[in-house]
Structure 1
Amino acid sequence: MNGTSQTLSITEKVGYALGDLAANLIFQTLVTFLAFFYTDVFQIPAATAATVIFVVGILGAFVFTPIIGLVADRTHTRWGKFRPWVLWTALPFGALSLLAFSTPSLTGQAKVTYAFATYSLLVLVYVANNLPYAALSGVLTGSMAERNSLSSYRFVAVMVAQFIIQVLLLPLVLILGNGDKALGFHNTMTVFAIIGTVFFLITFFTTKERIVPTHEQKSSVRDDLADLARNRPWLIMLSVTVLLFINLALKGGMYIYYFKYYLSETQLATFLQTIGFNRFIAGLNRILVGIGLTNFQWPKDAPTSAFSLFNALGIIFMIVGIGFSKRLADRFGKRDVFAGALFVSTLFLLDFYFFSPNAIGFVVMSYICHGFFYGITIPLLWAMTADVADYSEWKNRRRATAIIFSAMLCGLKIGLSVGGALVAGILAYYGYHADAAAQSPDAVNGIRLTVSVLCSLPFLVAVVLMCLYEINKPMELHIEQELGARRLEASAAS
């Protein structure tokens, strides 16, 4: 099998990408709305919500992820190592997503226990699904150019999911719940669970594992862990991933508060009217009423509409950035393009501290620019992790794809838990009160500081770390050529 063609069909790339769309319908909801759901919908105190998010995230990072990584690398079925995990977790993922965003009639400690239990199980199944799914990209093909292409397909799907969550989720919650946010979240997550399950099945049936370790490459758990400890590119990617997801959780979780409590509602309404958004929505509502969908009209709340538009434009330009990613990486190498684009995107985040509550146009333009440059980096993070798996095989003559990719999931969980807990923790520290008509100046300043300065710090540290990452363009080509020759020899010998 190692000697088969390493070229991927469009069907396989699309089928693989749908798995990330399915996972990100839930993941993006966790990043953007979990703190909001716990504090404003399920009515858990902000400090308690921060504890739940942090503890479960640490469990996911340091318990669930290493165990799943080690087990997945030692999975042997007629379908391969990693594809079966996508199949096995499809239904549990959907069911637990629905339970985690449900609001049963509980009070006090019972409510906290329910949140902790459902979030823990969801994170466990998420890891069991997404770690093998991510590792699958490292065994679909040995071609780094094909991996760059696969990553671009994959992260267009991620951006579609992000668009759905950040732009449409709040309106869907209000529409499907008829104004009741608790019912709206339940009904919306039901739809996502069904769609996600179907997409995971498509991923399973349309992909094929081509890179299969030879018998000589089999290793013990001790060997795998020793290889990781000596693998500096892996350690750097782990650290970078932690930092990136701290940023994503911080800004994703805090933007909704930024729009609700910092930006001027009057100016948001004026901005929407000036750019023609209100006319567009009025026309959309007339169409919905005309076909009998009277309950599916867009909400009239200005912060909700402006927040959706803000996210929509950012995501559109992230997709544009993703479109440039492969060409830039093929020419200059993943490392240099990733570090450069990440640095420029950070500058546009810092701008948010200097904007007044009335500067709606500048807020939107800054986020568009941030989205474009950050979009360039999105496919490269995962493609570089596949390169690290190749680097480990090249250096140690043993391949342990899933445990290498555990860096990504471990870092993701640490970043998500730290960033998500920081959102709730910062709100609690600055005296935030859920559903208050207006927040204190301290609370508003905490929100403003978080979406600018605090969000920028993880990105800046990640840029510095990339200077220590040794897999540049020449090394990428050298590793690919040498591993290709080894696999051909192994295939001929077998």
Structure 2
Amino acid sequence: MENLTKKSENRLPDKSHDSQRVPLYEKFAFASGDVACNFVFGFTGSLLTLFYTDYAGVSAATVGLVMLVSRFLDGGSDLLFACIVDKVKSKHGKARPWVLWMAVPFGITYILLFTVPSDCTQAMKGIYVFVTYNLCTTVVYTALNLPYGALSSLITRDTRQREFLQAFRMGLSPIGRILVTAVSLPIVEAFGDGQGAWIKTSFIFATVAIVLLLFCFFGTKERVDFRDLEEKQEKKKTNKESFLVMIKNKYWALCLGLWGVMVLTSTANSTILGYYAKYILGDKIYVSQIYTAEQVAMIVCILFVTPALVKFTGKRNITMYGMFLVIAAQLVLLLNPTNVTLVTVLAVVKGFGYGPLWGSVFAMLADACEYGQWKFHVRNDAFLFSAGSIGSKLGGGIAAGMVGVVLSVCGYDGMASVQTEQSLSAIYWVYVFLPIVLAVVQIVFCLFYKLDKMLPMINKELAEREARGEI
């Protein structure tokens, strides 16, 4: 959709998949968008709770409540923006322009997260956190990340090319999380280890994020154009009908579950890691070592292991095998949960366990778009890709809220030098046992996912329909 003046006969639904091959530089450009998004997603899912409680002086109960309530508001914003994005007509395409429009607001609202007033009451701090957190995540992040997620289905319809696109995206996205989670604390300490240090650090990250988003916008191209087909269905398709079709798409629901639980796992794990390193292992600086080890292993798995194996096992099976690996790692951790070396090694194992899901889930979601068109004769990519955004918001918010509430109930005080025995036990149980429970849930979701075997037949039938001008 790079050039909206092209004649309809040159539009791409009826072109061969070979014409939609994606060059290497474009794969990197596409992935850079998720690296930038993870400056917010990664930080709100890891160190933001620690910043609020231990640096800004906000109570754990307030943080937990704000994040929990905000996530449900945020889930609703995804559906609202899905309606808006689905109607966009721009010379830059349907999804790409949002990456450009939201780049600067994304950087500005990211910095605002750290400017919590230090000389006001808990109530005022809570209000400020609620407003800035929702401005950043509910509004700006949604307006950026939802259309960005749908972009992969508009770059190419070739299933294998989509798998490579998502492998690059999810393989490089941990770089954003590594930067904000592993590098933030050393930078903050170098700047003075106070709230002002966090503001300076956020300015650096915001600048880098804006540059990456601009690279994503200028380096990608929408090749897939459904406007001819959509114009035919537009007379009968309303937002309500698109929403109902989305709800009926069982593979959309399974992708929502898989991604939501994965984000819940990742957020709970990375959020509690700061506390686990500080109070169980003895030094918060271990966060950098442990988190980096897991993320680097995940990158290697996503970029090299998953693409090599998925064509033999399928996306569902390799995801399920990874969850069994996570369960095994957590059980081994019980042998010596205070040994830094063991925790780091098992973080590597978990990285390889989580890698297949991170590398496959958005390709699975793109496949769900094809299933939806095949099953219901409706193309609504923006609605369906809301699963990625909704899953991120609800999973991340529930996890962050849960951790804050659990710590508060157990008597955690971020400004105290010594914590209660109950709060230390809570930190231990969340870090060690919660991943096991959530991995079992993921395995159950995988057992219901059967689209891998159906996809060749679906793609063949869709090609025949579109050659006849049908959707």
TM over 0.5: yes
The structure-2 alpha-carbon separation of the partners of 1:453 and 1:110, relative to structure 1 and needing over 3 Å to count, comes to same
**8 A Cα contact 1:351 1:452, kept in partner:** no
Deviation at 1:485, TM superposition (A): 3.7
Alignment of 1:109-128 (within 5 A): 109-123=123-137, 124-128=139-143
* DSSP 3-state at the match of 1:467: helix
1:247 Cα deviation after fit: 1.0
Moved more, 235-244 or 123-132: 235-244
* Structure 2: distance between partners of 1:48 and 1:469: 38
The 10-residue stretch of structure 1 (362-371 or 399-408) with the greater mean CA deviation from structure 2: 362-371
2:95 corresponds to 1:82: yes
Q: How many angstroms does 1:20 deviate by?
A: 0.6
User: Residues of 1 paired with 2:198 and 2:218: CA distance?
Assistant: 30
Between the aligned residues of both structures, percent identity stands at: 29
**How many residue pairs end up in the alignment?**
449
CA distance in 2, matches of 1:389, 1:451: 35
Query: 2:5 aligns to what?
Result: none
1:252 & 1:238 partners in 2: Cα distance?
21
**Quick one: distance in 2 between partners of 1:388 and 1:448?**
38
Within 5 A, what are the aligned runs for 1:425-440? 425-440=405-420
Runs of 4+ in 1 over 6 A off after TM superposition: none
- With 136-145 and 359-368 compared, the bigger mean Cα shift is at 359-368
- Mapped partners of 2:376, 2:163: distance in 1: 24
CA distance 1:182–1:395, shift in 2 (3 Å): same
Structure 1: stretches of 5+ with no match in the other structure: 266-302
Q: 1:149 aligns with which of 151, 155, 164?
A: 164
Q: Could you list the per-position Cα deviations for residues 426-471 of structure 1 after superposition, in whole angstroms to 9, with x for gaps in the alignment?
A: 1111111214333222111110000111232122112101111121
2:324 maps to amino acid: F
Bigger drift between 209-218 and 420-429 goes to 209-218
Match of 2:232 in 1: 216
* Aligned with 2:465 (options 486, 490, 493): 486
Further displaced range: 122-131 or 427-436: 427-436
- Which residue of 2 is the match for residue 272 of structure 1? none
Match of 2:147 in 1: 132
- Of residues 236, 252, 267, the one that matches 1:249 is 267
Distance verdict in 2 for CA 1:425–1:130, change over 3 Å = same
Give 1:50 deviation, angstroms: 0.5
Structure 1 residues 31-81: Cα deviation after superposition (integer angstroms, max 9, x where no partner): 0011111111111111111111111111101x2111011111111111111
Tell me, what secondary structure is at the counterpart of 1:107? coil
| Native 8 Å contact 1:144 1:480 kept in 2 | no
Q: How does 1:310-325 map to 2 (within 5 A)?
A: 310-322=290-302, 323-325=304-306
1:240 pairs with 2:220: no
Aligned to 1:385: 365
Per-residue CA deviations over 1:126-162 (Å, capped at 9, x if unaligned) read: 0100000001111110011001101111122212112
Q: Equivalents in 1 of 2:78, 2:244: separation in Å? A: 17
Please report how far the alpha carbon of residue 354 of structure 1 lies from its aligned counterpart in structure 2 after TM superposition.
Answer: 4.3
Match of 2:345 among 337, 340, 365: 365
Aligned partner of 1:293 in structure 2 is: none
2:327 aligned with 1:346 = yes
RMSD: 1.7
Aligned-partner residue type, residue 314 of structure 1 = E
Aligned pairs for 1:98-109 within 5 A = 98-108=111-121, 109=123
Residue 228 (structure 1) aligns with: 246
Please tell me the residue identity of whatever aligns with 2:68: F
1: distance between equivalents of 2:242 and 2:119?
45
Tell me the CA shift for residue 222 of structure 1.
2.1
User: Does structure 2 retain, via aligned residues, the 8 Å contact 1:353–1:453?
Assistant: no
Give a deviation string over 1:110-133, Cα, whole Å, max 9, x none. 211111100010011101000000
- Which sections of structure 2, spanning at least 5 residues, go unmatched? 1-10
